[in-house]
């Protein structure tokens, strides 16, 4: 048997500790740039950062943090948050990133559910913390991360830099079980209570390796990576870990996520890879269009967009007017989160129209992730590009259960995760999201894709954003309603928008009504919150 042959390789655990040691050894001159709340930029080399990670590890142990303990963060994207990303798992504890955009009662539920014992919070977020900290009985200590001009640290709390200052920058990290938990993230909870997803060291390392692969995100040592996606959401799509493993420079935006602030960082820090949800990039595209020639984005190799379907008009606008290539991605908290990427295969390249069509899909599964789609009865569907069904995935960094074994109905008996996304899959394997299962519009027994209608509406020159949702109808049960946000200074009538859609969709797909709003409500992760639109406008078709 092969297992008995001499010379076989020693078992080596895949743990995040390796990233700390690798970065310190090979990339000491790489840099992490963080924009603080006061807008000043903090710069720290990897050499200094890894010394601080070891100091933090000593501080955590001195505080009584033990393997398996949950250490929560309530913080924006910055170098201290990265230090926690590295030090907490490396000592065997579990980092828990709290979503600061949730309601305080929801954050309290999540912190209680995870049994968080320590909280590291930005000073600017102390008012939010004060709204729920006393509802979490397991919290032993709060450590405050502050910069010049930030609020003072309450006397009952500790200050981050004071905690690190007396600690040694030498620390021997323990040998860990690769299947031990490294991080826990919670879903946004748009339906029911949020559910915890536990990432093991092995799953996180596997995800990091895949993110660095040439036909994935291709994160490399020469890159400058800007995660606009928050570090409190699905590990910032794994980009902080990928950058550290590759030795890339990292740029963190802090709390300043407006278009001007992001563009300044992209230009001044010579960013090569940036990543965020479509709503962020819609605002950036609008500013680029309004200020033609002002911004130099020549260094940008790609911008990764995920979290929701990006309209083809936005993908085309970035490429044709500003030379920025969009990499469309799909993933979820439950997939660590990278699941699929819209890479154009060489056999399909050459035709600009076809390339745009492919880049507008969610792509095909990254290595080690399997994909399929099924109907409501669980029947596996053909890859014909037309048949719609719920996307299911499985793989080494795809969740197999939720924390505390909740939500078992989301997992099939043969180990697939039911994503809730309604998709088609074509013969080449490209996935196209047509809706969320909870948002799909069922009119007279037929499915209507809100995403396809939204994309078409957002290709109108006057439309900034569009969200299509189901309105109640006496005859057809549900009919589409389109919420429209117009670009500043632009106008469009209901009739003009209907004309724009005609010829592209079947007649029964056409929206029965349009509502013009100042802003489309969003979830905590920046996705359109259609449940609120349904609550506000869903009854307007009754009696029509």
The position carrying tokens 């600009």 is 352
| CA neighbor of 456 nearest in space, from 509, 530, 388 | 509
Percent of the chain with pLDDT over 90: 75
Whether residue 330 lies in the annotated active site:
no
Packing angle, helices 79-90 and 17-26, rounded to 10? 120
Coil, strand, or helix at residue 107?
helix
For residue 452, give both structure tokens. 């396809």
Query: Can you tell me the mean pLDDT for 372-381?
Result: 93
Which helix (H) or strand (E) covers residue 533, if one does?
helix 530-537
Whether residue 334 lies in the annotated active site:
yes
On whether the CB atoms of residues 223 and 301 are closer than 8 A, the answer is: yes
Which residues does 424 contact at the CB level (< 8 Å), separation at least 6?
373, 384, 385, 386, 387, 388, 431, 432, 434
| CA neighbor of 42 nearest in space, from 148, 124, 134 | 148
Rounded Cα distance between 239 and 217, Å, is 9
34-38, 270-274, 444-448, 481-485: range with lowest mean pLDDT: 444-448
For residue 233, give both structure tokens. 């959401």
DSSP 499: H
Strands (E) in 306-349, as ranges, are 326-331, 338-341
Answer yes or no: is pLDDT of 191 > 70: no
Rounded Cα distance between 133 and 126, Å, is 10
283-287, 451-455, 486-490: range with lowest mean pLDDT: 451-455
Q: What pLDDT shows up at residue 161? A: 98
Answer yes or no: is pLDDT of 544 > 80: no
Answer yes or no: is pLDDT of 2 > 60: no
| CA neighbor of 340 nearest in space, from 393, 280, 412 | 393
Q: Residues 51-108: pLDDT tens digits? A: 999 999 999 999 999 999 999 999 999 999 999 999 999 999 999 999 998 889 889 9
Q: Residues 130-189: pLDDT tens digits? A: 999 999 999 999 999 999 999 999 999 999 999 999 999 999 999 999 999 999 999 875
HSE, side-chain direction, 13 A CA sphere, residue 515? 21
Determine the straight-line distance between the first and last CA of the chain, rounded to whole angstroms. Answer: 74
Average pLDDT, the chain: 92
Whether residue 447 lies in the annotated active site:
yes
- Beta 302-305 vs 273-276: how paired, if at all? parallel
Percent of the chain with pLDDT over 70: 95
Q: What pLDDT shows up at residue 451? A: 82
Coil, strand, or helix at residue 184?
strand
Which entry of 442, 446, 499, 539 is annotated as an active-site residue? Answer: 442
Confidence of residue 42 (pLDDT cuts 50, 70, 90): very high
Q: Is the bond leading into 287 cis (omega within 30 degrees of zero)?
A: no
Which entry of 334, 392, 454, 465 is annotated as an active-site residue? Answer: 334
Which helix (H) or strand (E) covers residue 543, if one does?
none
Coil, strand, or helix at residue 457?
helix
Strand-pair partners of 306? none
Neighbour count for residue 335 (Cβ, 10 Å): 25
Which entry of 187, 333, 361, 525 is annotated as an active-site residue? Answer: 187
Which helix (H) or strand (E) covers residue 201, if one does?
helix 201-212
For residue 164, give both structure tokens. 């690190």
Answer yes or no: is pLDDT of 5 > 70: no
Which helix (H) or strand (E) covers residue 200, if one does?
strand 196-200
Q: What pLDDT shows up at residue 444? A: 67
Coil, strand, or helix at residue 191?
coil
Answer yes or no: is pLDDT of 542 > 80: no
Answer yes or no: is pLDDT of 1 > 50: no
Rounded Cα distance between 370 and 390, Å, is 14
Q: What DSSP assignment string belongs to 64-87?
A: T--TT-EEEEE--BSHHHHHHHHH
Rounded Cα distance between 474 and 377, Å, is 27
HSE, side-chain direction, 13 A CA sphere, residue 180? 24
Answer yes or no: is pLDDT of 502 > 70: yes
Winning range, highest mean pLDDT, from 1-10, 239-248, 481-490, 511-520: 239-248
Whether residue 487 lies in the annotated active site:
no
Neighbour count for residue 320 (Cβ, 10 Å): 11
| CA neighbor of 398 nearest in space, from 371, 363, 364 | 371
Domains and CATH numbers, the chain: 12-30+43-214 (3.40.50.12780), 439-537 (3.30.300.30)
Which entry of 29, 447, 496, 502 is annotated as an active-site residue? Answer: 447
For residue 59, give both structure tokens. 């501080």
For residue 88, give both structure tokens. 């907490």
Q: Residues 215-262: pLDDT tens digits? A: 999 999 999 999 999 999 899 999 999 999 999 999 999 999 999 999
Which helix (H) or strand (E) covers residue 261, if one does?
helix 259-268
DSSP 254: B
Which residues does 240 contact at the CB level (< 8 Å), separation at least 6?
82, 85, 227, 231, 250
For residue 150, give both structure tokens. 């930030």
For residue 8, give both structure tokens. 């076989």
Q: What pLDDT shows up at residue 455? A: 86
The position carrying tokens 């056999």 is 347
């Amino acid at each position: 048997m092969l297992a008995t042959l001499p010379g076989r390789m020693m078992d080596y655990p895949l743990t995040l500790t390796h990233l700390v040691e690798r970065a310190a050894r090979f990339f000491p001159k790489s840099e992490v740039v963080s924009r603080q709340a006061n807008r000043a930029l903090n710069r720290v080399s990897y050499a200094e950062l890894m010394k601080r990670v070891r100091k933090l590890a000593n501080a955590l142990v001195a505080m009584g943090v033990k393997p398996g303990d949950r250490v929560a963060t309530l913080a924006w994207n910055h170098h201290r948050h990265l230090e926690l990303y590295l030090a907490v798992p490396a000592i065997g504890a579990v980092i828990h990133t709290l979503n600061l955009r949730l309601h305080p009662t929801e954050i309290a539920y999540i912190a209680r559910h995870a049994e968080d014992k320590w909280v590291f919070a930005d000073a600017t977020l102390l008012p939010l913390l004060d709204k729920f900290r006393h509802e979490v009985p397991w919290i032993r200590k709060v450590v405050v991360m502050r910069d010049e001009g930030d609020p003072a640290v309450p006397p009952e709390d500790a200050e981050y830099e004071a905690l690190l200052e007396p600690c040694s920058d030498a620390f021997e990290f323990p040998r860990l079980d690769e299947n031990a938990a490294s991080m826990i993230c919670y879903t946004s909870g748009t339906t029911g209570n949020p559910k915890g997803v536990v990432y093991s060291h092995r799953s996180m390392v596997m995800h990091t390796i895949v993110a660095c692969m040439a036909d994935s995100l291709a994160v490399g040592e020469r890159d400058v990576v800007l995660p606009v996606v928050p570090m409190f959401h699905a590990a910032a799509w794994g980009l902080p870990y990928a950058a550290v493993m590759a030795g890339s420079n990292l740029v963190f935006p802090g709390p300043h996520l407006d278009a001007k602030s992001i563009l300044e960082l992209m230009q001044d820090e010579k960013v090569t890879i940036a990543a965020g949800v479509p709503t962020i990039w819609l605002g950036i595209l609008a500013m680029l269009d309004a200020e033609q020639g002002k911004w130099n984005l020549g260094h940008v190799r790609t911008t990764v967009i995920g979290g929701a379907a990006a309209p083809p008009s936005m993908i085309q606008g970035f490429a044709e007017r500003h030379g920025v290539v969009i990499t469309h991605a799909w993933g979820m908290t439950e997939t660590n989160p990278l699941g699929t990427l819209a890479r154009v295969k060489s056999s399909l390249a050459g035709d600009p129209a076809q390339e745009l069509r492919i880049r507008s899909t969610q792509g095909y599964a990254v290595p080690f992730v399997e994909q399929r789609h099924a109907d409501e009865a669980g029947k596996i569907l053909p890859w014909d590009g037309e048949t719609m069904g719920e996307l299911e995935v499985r793989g080494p960094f795809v969740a197999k259960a939720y924390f505390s074994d909740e939500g078992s109905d989301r997992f099939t008996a043969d180990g697939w995760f039911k994503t809730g996304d309604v998709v088609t899959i074509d013969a080449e394997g490209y996935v196209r999201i047509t809706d969320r299962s909870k948002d799909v519009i069922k009119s007279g027994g037929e499915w209507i894709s809100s995403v396809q209608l939204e994309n078409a509406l957002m290709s109108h020159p006057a439309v900034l954003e569009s969200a299509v949702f189901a309105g109640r109808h006496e005859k057809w049960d549900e009919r589409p309603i389109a919420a429209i946000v117009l670009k500043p200074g632009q106008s469009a009538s209901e009739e003009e928008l209907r004309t724009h859609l005609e010829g592209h969709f079947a007649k029964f797909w056409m929206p029965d009504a349009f509502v013009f709003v100042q802003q489309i409500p969003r979830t905590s992760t920046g996705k359109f919150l259609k449940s609120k639109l349904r609550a506000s406008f869903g009854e307007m078709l009754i009696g029509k």
